[in-house]
């Protein structure tokens, strides 16, 4: 038989494979692929009988080895039986109601404008804290609604360019528009007696008071008596009677009598005062007073 001049054959090749050979090669490739991807221990239809052969409980077929069974699972018959079994199970299974998702009703309100407001600046001298008192009027507020507020960073809003030195305080209540106040970006004192809110249902007014934490530089010194603090003057001890910073000597440069009380014609007193006077402004004041006396 001439195998060289058959249709579709090439010189030097083994000739054209028959349909049975093609099917056998296809099953072998499917078996190798199935061995790599399918775990037979999890297959509910795979069973090994007492004869040592393998059986498909879905299609009732016998197989000599695992590869043969895996090739069978990729075939048309096994796939059709799987589809029939899935349809039967779906038909026999009782209909279970689907879980309903929690539905949140979105309240729709027609905005009627901005509420009236009043802001009062306060200062607590004892604690050295600055505070703000907000009063918002909601005469047409919806029944059952309580006004809300929150602090917003400058980087959350999209109205103005962000500035880290400011923050925003928002007030909201239906059906009014949400309003905001631009306040300094300082730390808020959130203690119970410093941050409080009140909603007056009768007058329909909402109150909010906030306190800013006092800076260390702004806090008054409580340990130093007020009598020891001299305004606009240096608080320096004055043991030396010729000390130009002493209280009975040269504290007030505008008082000429204090300069005239000293005998500047004494050469020793002049030299000692010149050495003790470390501040050039005091020294010029001495010379000016001497010239005017």
Q: What fold characterizes domain 116-212?
A: Immunoglobulin-like (2.60.40)
Residue 103 has what pLDDT? Answer: 74
pLDDT band at 233; cut points 50, 70, 90:
very low
Residue 238 has what pLDDT? Answer: 44
pLDDT tens readout for residues 31-86:
777 777 777 888 889 998 888 899 999 999 998 888 788 888 888 999 999 999 99
Scan for tokens 């004192």, then name that residue: 189
- DSSP 3-state of 79: helix
**Mean pLDDT computed over 151-164:** 89
What is the spatial distance between Cα 51 and Cα 37, in angstroms, rounded to a whole number?
27
Average pLDDT, the chain: 75
| Run of H or E residues at 167 | strand 166-172
Q: Degrees (nearest 5) of the Cα angle 213, 148, 146?
A: 135
Q: Is 170 a residue whose pLDDT tops 90? A: yes
What is the spatial distance between Cα 33 and Cα 27, in angstroms, rounded to a whole number?
10
Q: Is 228 a residue whose pLDDT tops 50? A: no
Per-domain residue ranges for the chain?
21-83, 116-212, 241-292
| Sign of the C-alpha dihedral computed for residues 75, 77, 78 and 83 taken in this order | positive
pLDDT band at 128; cut points 50, 70, 90:
confident
Residue scoring higher pLDDT (240 or 66): 66
């Amino acid at each position: 038989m001439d195998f060289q001049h058959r249709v579709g054959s090439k010189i030097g090749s083994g000739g054209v494979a028959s349909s049975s050979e093609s099917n056998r090669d296809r099953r072998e490739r499917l078996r190798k692929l199935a061995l790599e991807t399918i775990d037979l221990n999890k297959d509910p239809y795979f069973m090994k009988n007492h004869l040592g052969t393998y059986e498909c409980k879905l299609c009732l077929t016998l197989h000599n080895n695992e590869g043969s069974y895996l090739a069978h699972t990729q075939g048309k018959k096994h796939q059709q039986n799987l589809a029939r079994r899935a349809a039967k199970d779906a038909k026999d299974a009782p209909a279970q109601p689907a879980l309903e998702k929690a539905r949140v009703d979105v309240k729709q309100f027609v905005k009627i404008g901005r509420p009236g407001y009043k802001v009062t600046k306060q200062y607590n001298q004892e604690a050295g804290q600055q505070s703000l008192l907000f009063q918002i009027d909601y005469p047409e507020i919806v029944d059952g609604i309580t006004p809300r507020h929150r602090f917003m960073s400058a980087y959350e809003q999209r109205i103005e360019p962000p500035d880290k030195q400011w923050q925003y305080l928002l007030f909201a209540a239906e059906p009014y528009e949400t309003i905001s106040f631009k306040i300094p970006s300082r730390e808020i004192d959130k203690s119970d007696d410093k941050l409080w809110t009140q909603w007056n249902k009768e007058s329909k007014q909402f109150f909010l008071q906030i306190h800013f934490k006092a800076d260390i530089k702004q806090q008054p010194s409580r340990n130093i008596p007020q009598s020891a603090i001299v305004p606009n003057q240096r608080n320096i001890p004055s043991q030396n009677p010729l000390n130009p910073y002493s209280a009975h000597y040269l504290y007030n440069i505008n008082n000429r009598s204090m300069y005239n009380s000293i005998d500047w014609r004494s050469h020793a007193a002049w030299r000692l005062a010149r050495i003790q006077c470390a501040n050039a402004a005091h020294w010029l004041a001495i010379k000016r007073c001497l010239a005017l006396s």
